[in-house]
Amino acid sequence: MLSDLGSALAGLLALATILMGSRYLLDPTPAAAGFGIPRVRRDVAPDRAWLAVKAARDIAIGIAIVTLLIT
């Protein structure tokens, strides 16, 4: 029972991490504000690049957790 609960919580964590990363890809301005970055300008390339890297990292971590759960 405890193993099932742990697996379910890890699955929810993986899903939340993937959704958080997806949010940075789809609509980065509110996501960045929620992360603590006061204002992200869409015309400045480094801001968009930083958010894309963070999104890719979050999605990759979520996929890694799912992979570990499956194996």
Could you write out the three-class secondary structure of 15-70? HHHHHHHHHHHHCHHHHHHHHCCCCCCCCCHHHHHHHHHHHHHHHHHHHHHHHHHH
Structural domain spans, the chain = 16-70
Largest CA distance in the chain: 51
pLDDT the model gives residue 49: 77
Instruction: Please tell me the pTM assigned to this model.
Output: 0.77
Q: Give the model confidence (pLDDT) of 2-44 as tens digits.
A: 688 999 999 999 999 999 999 888 887 777 777 776 665 666 5
pLDDT the model gives residue 50: 78
pLDDT the model gives residue 3: 85
Band of pLDDT at residue 54, cut at 50, 70 and 90: confident
